[in-house]
Amino acid sequence: MAGLFYIGNVQAQGITESFEYTTGLLEGQGGWETPYGSHSCWVDSIKVFDGLKSISVQDNYASCSGRKEIATTTTGFFSIYFLAEVKEPGNNLLYYLGTGPWITLSNEQITIGNENLVLPGSENWSTNRWHKIGIELNTNEGWTRAKFDDYSWTATTTAPSTPITALYFLYENGYRNEQDFFIDFIQYDVSYSDYVFETMGLEELPALESCEGLGITEGFLCEIRNFFTRLFVPTPEKINELKSTMEMIKTRFPYSYILTIQNFFSDLKSGIDENQEINFSILGQAGQVDFGFWNSTTTLAGGVQTFLDIFKTFFKFLLVILLGLWFISLIKRIFK
């Protein structure tokens, strides 16, 4: 299966959108427009990261895009998940609103914007697993930045100052080769700001009051309050130092080993491809296992069911029985 591109779940200002639409063109469903490459944006359930549906983009087309109006805002936190089965230099993923940021996927790294800021950790991006790109944008202050998976943010780079009016994505296949590329699960939240948290340490750090223009008594009380604020409230720099020191534990045993095991299981889970074909070679003759028999049907319990469903249900039943037996043995050992 080559050249599919999926987009799955959007959260906008507390509203979750998971593309649970009718299989077919995205155009016109749920308020989505596809200004570029409308013919290649499909709602489908072939491969999803979250939910039951996603958007697929057929190959042999240059691009696929989606655009949806949102309430005008000037800040936002966006994230998008993608999976590539083949690495191709020159593929671009424009994600968000208006005129940038522009994410470029190359064989070795991922960059953002015209300055080509390299996303820290992006040299670890690999095929056949889901990765996340997070983008934070503040058009009031004119900056944006990005991060890859759970690695650190890039430095901030210049962002357009125009307010955000629409959620927007665009994927371009730079070389127009056949390839498997998937995107799924987009999050959008205008109220969240990692940058504010990191800069200030606490989002609701008590601020000093302005005592100008107050009477003698009110001014005195105001100064007293500010005195205690200065006396007890830690500075943002100190809180940041604490945070960065706490982060260092991730490099120490056993935390680092536990993190590695966690990543192992999450990668394993996301790397499993139910549509994988099994190739074999016998006496020089290559072939593929034909799983067509799973779709054969039979009547069971008064209903027509496929062998696939029957066996899957059987294995689930078996696992539940095993879990029950293990649980009984656990109880026995506790009271032994």
Residues interacting with another protein, by CB under 8 A? 128, 230-235, 238-239, 241-242, 245-246, 248-249, 251-254, 256-257, 260-261, 264-265, 267-269, 271-276, 278, 291, 294, 308, 311-312, 315-316, 319, 322-323, 326-327, 330, 333-334
Find the angle CA(90)-CA(81)-CA(98) to the nearest 5 degrees: 65
Q: Hey, what amino acid is at 153?
A: W
Nearest distance, CB of residue 57 and another protein, angstroms: 23
Categorise residue 240: left if φ over 0, alpha if ψ from -120 to 50, beta otherwise. Answer: alpha
Nearest distance, CB of residue 202 and another protein, angstroms: 10
- Residue number with CB closer to another protein (62 or 321): 321
- Residue number with CB closer to another protein (140 or 263): 263
Residue 236: CB atoms within 10 Å:
14
Nearest distance, CB of residue 82 and another protein, angstroms: 18
Nearest distance, CB of residue 256 and another protein, angstroms: 5
- Residue number with CB closer to another protein (128 or 177): 128
Instruction: Match 């656990």 to its residue by tokens.
Output: 330
| Among candidate residues 150, 76, 153, the one with its CA nearest the CA of residue 112 | 153
- Residue number with CB closer to another protein (158 or 295): 295
Nearest distance, CB of residue 282 and another protein, angstroms: 17
Gap between the Cα atoms of 10 and 103, Å rounded: 18
CB 304 within 8 A of CB 297: yes
Nearest distance, CB of residue 111 and another protein, angstroms: 25
| Among candidate residues 38, 12, 10, the one with its CA nearest the CA of residue 164 | 12
- Residue number with CB closer to another protein (254 or 303): 254
Gap between the Cα atoms of 41 and 55, Å rounded: 6
Instruction: Match 């130092």 to its residue by tokens.
Output: 241
CB 9 within 8 A of CB 56: no
CB 18 within 8 A of CB 51: yes
Nearest distance, CB of residue 203 and another protein, angstroms: 16
3-class SS string, 108-135: CCEEECCCCEECCCHHHCCCCCCEEEEE
- Residue number with CB closer to another protein (301 or 334): 334
- Residue number with CB closer to another protein (156 or 229): 229
CB 3 within 8 A of CB 178: yes
DSSP run (H or E) holding 173: none
Gap between the Cα atoms of 175 and 135, Å rounded: 25
- Residue number with CB closer to another protein (39 or 316): 316
Nearest distance, CB of residue 52 and another protein, angstroms: 15
Q: Hey, what amino acid is at 83?
A: L
Nearest distance, CB of residue 24 and another protein, angstroms: 24
| Among candidate residues 287, 288, 306, the one with its CA nearest the CA of residue 296 | 306
- Residue number with CB closer to another protein (22 or 245): 245
